[in-house]
Structures are given as structure tokens and as C-alpha cells.
């Protein structure tokens, strides 16, 4: 988890946080401040604020196909548009 501007915390990979630091989103430009390391299991059921969502909060669910090597961390699931998302929701 990383500190961003506007008293926000982002759950994302270190790579994504580093990239965000060059987009004027971190407290200090080109610097990343890590708060803690998280394990996916610790996030299941956690109420989160999702950017650009019309909902005040959303809840995190597990998805085994996420790869931190290429992904950003928590992602939005759209079961109506993605077979992987549908399968993950069905399995849950």
C-alpha cells in the first residue's frame, strides 16, 4: 500500500506506484512512500473506494488469475464483459 496525494492510499504493485510517481500522483514527485506490504488474503471482503465508480464503496473478492508481475494490484471485475471475471465470481 502506498501513500498518494489528497490523503489517499493506493493498493498496487511497486511497479505501478513507481509509474504513478511520474504522473504527479504521489506526495513527492518521482518518490514512492510504501506504508506496508499486503497479502491478497488480507483484503478479501474489505470495503474499498474504487476510482470512477458510482458506488461509495465496493468489496474486494479473490481472483486467482491476477499476476503482480504484469498487473497493478486490485482490479475491477466485470463479470458481464469478461469470461475470467465471470468464472472467478461463479467459483466464489
Q: What is the pLDDT of residues 53-70, one digit of tens each?
A: 899 998 988 877 777 776
pLDDT, tens digit, 9 for 90 and up, residues 19-55: 999 999 999 989 999 999 998 889 899 998 887 889 9
pTM of the model: 0.73
Helices (H), the chain: 14-21, 83-91
Q: Map out the domains of the chain as residue ranges.
A: 1-37, 42-92
Amino acid at each position: 500500500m502506498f501513500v498518494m496525494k489528497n490523503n489517499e492510499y493506493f493498493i498496487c504493485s511497486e511497479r505501478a506506484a513507481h509509474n504513478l510517481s511520474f504522473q504527479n500522483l504521489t506526495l513527492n514527485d518521482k518518490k514512492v512512500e510504501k506504508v506496508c506490504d499486503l497479502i491478497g488474503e488480507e483484503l478479501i471482503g474489505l470495503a474499498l473506494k474504487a476510482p470512477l465508480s458510482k458506488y461509495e464503496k465496493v468489496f474486494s473478492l479473490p481472483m486467482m488469475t491476477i499476476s503482480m508481475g504484469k498487473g497493478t494490484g486490485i482490479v475491477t471485475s466485470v463479470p458481464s464483459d469478461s469470461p475470467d471475471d465471470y468464472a472467478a465470481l461463479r467459483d466464489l
